[in-house]
Amino acid sequence: MDSSFEDFCLSLPKIELHAHLNGSLSDKILPLLGCPYSDICNYQKLRNIPIGQRNLENVFKTFAIAHKATSSSQTVYLATLNLIKEFAADNVIYLELRTTPRNEEGMSAENYIESVIKAIQDSTNRILVKLILSLNRQHSLEECTNNLNLILKKQSEYPDIIKGIDLSGNPIHGSFHDLKHLFERGRNNNLFTTIHCGEVVNSKEIHEILEFRPERIGHACYLHPNYNGCIQNWNLLKELRLPTEICLTSNIVTGTVDIYENHHVQEWIKDNLPFSLNTDDKGIFNTSLSQEFQIAKKFFKFSAPDLWKISMNSIEDSFANAEEKIYLKMKLEDWKFKNYKFFSQ
């Protein structure tokens, strides 16, 4: 990779819209939380699994390591604080962090949310951070309902930080259908919604998610007819123009895409549909947002102005308020003005 392009990707102010807290914890953060060396080695092993043997199950098992390391209010706080620092060092100027509230011995789900929020408030880095709270499709309806009740309570206390809800968790289990009413309730209470969609082949569920019209969808690996999806869903997406959170490396490591050259984002590019570039679980997948931008340039021939535009468009797709969006857009314009060398080549 050309080093001036690496510099461009690192220096470009970036917008991260799809990052799970626990999956984002790096090898540098885990030891600070007291995570044993053997666990860190297991965490790293995932990256070395040969392509044909990669699957979502392996990745979902790996989350347990990070969850063990963040099982107290103190470690959740430290993890969040250090994670924000890492994103800021990568010149991410706006971060939407998402996480699933958890009850652990000595830490309630409410303590968990409070610890994440305290870290966001205490963070001294030049980065704007918002929180998306996740419902896990593997959990029972009762657990998801309790989780949403808690999220709504905390949202009323921290409306400037808690901006949305997400549906995540192992897509092989559970269904959007059973939890749809909770997302409707969230929406009616001023929460934005983003839904993991099409990580496994399931056109019926994808259709139901699109019909719900969340503000954004995540991944969308199997939505287009060339990727085991169907034309009705693709036409619906084209009509609705829901922004898609693309996570290139994540899809390779989880085995939903075999090689970057075959990534479904190419259909979004062809049809000029809105998308953002994201890391998903940068700790587990050993990536950074700068690296994702470099990969996008390498495999999909994006130019510097194209990547700048992706950052700019992601601001519009974010859950920031109108004033925050203006501030972020000004930052990006200002950066372009000062770094014209990248645009004049």
Helix (H) or strand (E) holding 152: helix 141-157
Q: How far apart are CA 25 and CA 79, in angstroms?
A: 7
Q: Which residues are catalytic?
A: 199
Going 75 to 78 to 84 to 87, the CA torsion angle's sign is: negative
Q: How far apart are CA 223 and CA 235, in angstroms?
A: 10
DSSP state of 27: T
Please name which of 31, 88, 5, 24 lies closest in space to residue 247, comparing C-alpha atoms: 24
Window 198-227: residues binding ligand 5GP (CB under 6 A): 199
CB-nearer residue toward ligand 5GP: 16 or 280: 280
Hey, what long-range contacts does 44-47 have (CB within 8 A, 24 or more apart)?
A: 44/286, 46/253, 46/284, 47/253, 47/285, 47/286
CB-nearer residue toward ligand 5GP: 86 or 280: 280
Contacts of 266 (CB under 8 A, 6+ apart): 300
Binding flag, residue 196, ligand 5GP (CB under 6 A): yes
Site string for ligand 5GP, 143-182 (x = CB under 6 A): -------------------------xx-x-----------
Binding flag, residue 194, ligand 5GP (CB under 6 A): no
Q: How far apart are CA 180 and CA 175, in angstroms?
A: 9
**Two tokens, residue 76:** 């959740």
Contacts of 325 (CB under 8 A, 6+ apart): 315, 316, 318
> Smallest distance, Å, CB 292 to ligand 5GP?
14
One of 12, 17, 19, 23 touching ligand 5GP (CB under 6 A): 23
Site string for ligand 5GP, 92-111 (x = CB under 6 A): -------xx-----------
One of 75, 80, 134, 278 touching ligand 5GP (CB under 6 A): 134
> Smallest distance, Å, CB 159 to ligand 5GP?
21
Binding flag, residue 283, ligand 5GP (CB under 6 A): no
Binding flag, residue 20, ligand 5GP (CB under 6 A): yes
Binding flag, residue 136, ligand 5GP (CB under 6 A): yes
Binding flag, residue 280, ligand 5GP (CB under 6 A): yes
One of 9, 12, 15, 21 touching ligand 5GP (CB under 6 A): 21
Window 286-305: residues binding ligand 5GP (CB under 6 A): none
CB-nearer residue toward ligand 5GP: 54 or 336: 54
> Smallest distance, Å, CB 22 to ligand 5GP?
3
Binding flag, residue 256, ligand 5GP (CB under 6 A): no
Please name which of 178, 258, 271, 165 lies closest in space to residue 218, comparing C-alpha atoms: 165
> CA angle, 212 as apex, 206 and 214 as ends, to 5°?
90
CB-nearer residue toward ligand 5GP: 196 or 224: 196
- The total number of residues shown for the chain amounts to 345
Q: Answer whether 70's CB lies under 8 Å from 33's CB.
A: yes
One of 63, 176, 192, 293 touching ligand 5GP (CB under 6 A): 63
Map tokens 């869903």 to a residue: 233
Among 20-28, 107-115, 183-191, 288-296, which window interacts with ligand 5GP (CB under 6 A)?
Answer: 20-28
Which positions lie near ligand 5GP, rule CB under 6 A? 20-23, 63, 99-100, 134, 136, 168-169, 171, 196, 199, 250, 280-281
